[in-house]
Chains A and B, each alone.
Chain A
């Protein structure tokens, strides 16, 4: 049951044709794990918190740097040097004090990934490197958990929702593990609002996933900020993929 406070807080969602009390309750009961609290994670987590995602788990091992503030909008000048996960949780709990927020100051790796994603209804990959992206992809496929992956560099963004139970490809089918690592945002540059566009799109897709309204599984959405255009490409599964074709959960 939603409380009177929640009816008021989420009134603008509840009056949508495709969204009602049932969907809001689903959000309220959902556990959403956001890995990476940089530009994408700051944008995504704000809209998830505001929308009423009941439990938000925030994972990042980093601290706030001056050069982050151009795009990582949950942090303030006073927080330079402080832990991102903890400060993001603090800002989000001010935005919505009716949800549970867990901050985990650690870096996702092969050994902790499965434990980090376990029990999540959806995972958002908001990290900034290929190695973490492959680890998260593999952990989600092993656990059968939907994954919304986003990325942004320069004027380009990429967004994809993956459901291990479906037959489409996974992140490693798109970018196999011999793909070349690229330098971090601060070396290649990134337009601040671009991480907002992709991060809020991840939140949008996550809410669609949680409320059963998602339909574009396995579609790579690319955003070209120079032309202000989106393109879509379907990603089939690769028969040789070491992440999604070997001993993973397809039964969910």
Chain B
């Protein structure tokens, strides 16, 4: 199925989870937040949250500088 990740269209397995996507994207798991369709999915729910075709995913890297 096709989803959008940070404004780029990608192919991913049917019923892939947020955790699988994060792993596939090689994102630094402990330095990011993930939003699906403009809503943050908490880290503890990544392995249960299944993605659907057309989902818009944003992987947001932590920014803490000031």
Contacts and interface: CB of A to CB of B under 8 A. Distances in A.
Nearest to B36: A233
A12 B65 CA distance: 33
Given A180-B62, A182-B65, 8 more contacts: A39-B66, A128-B64, A151-B65, A158-B60, A220-B35, A233-B38, A234-B40, A236-B42
A179 B30 contact: yes
Nearest to B42: A238
Interface of B: 28, 30-31, 33, 35, 38-40, 42-44, 58, 60-66
Interface of A: 36, 38-41, 126-130, 133, 150-153, 156-158, 169, 173-176, 178-182, 184-185, 188, 190, 195, 220, 222, 231-236, 238, 240
Nearest to B30: A180
A215 B65 CA distance: 25
Nearest to B39: A234
A48 to B, nearest CB: 16
A190 B58 contact: no
A161 B39 CA distance: 16
A130 B66 CA distance: 11
B18 to A, nearest CB: 14
A180 B35 contact: no
Nearest to B43: A176
Given A233-B40, A234-B39, A235-B40, A179 B62 contact: yes
B53 to A, nearest CB: 21
Contacts of B44: 176, 238, 240
Contact of B31 (A38, A133, A179): A179
With a 10 A CB-CB cut-off, give which of A127, A188, A233, A235 has the most chain B CB atoms.
Answer: A233
Contacts of A133: 64
14 contacts: A38-B66, A126-B66, A127-B64, A128-B65, A151-B65, A153-B64, A169-B40, A176-B42, A176-B43, A179-B30, A180-B30, A182-B62, A188-B65, A220-B60
B61 to A, nearest CB: 7
Given A179-B30, A233-B35, A156 B63 contact: yes
Contacts of A179: 30-31, 62
Contact of A153 (B39, B40, B63): B63
A182 B66 contact: no
Given A158-B63, A180-B62, A220-B60, A236 B31 contact: no
With a 10 A CB-CB cut-off, give which of B39, B40, B66 has the most chain A CB atoms.
Answer: B66
Nearest to A153: B65
Contact of A175 (B38, B58, B62, B65): B62
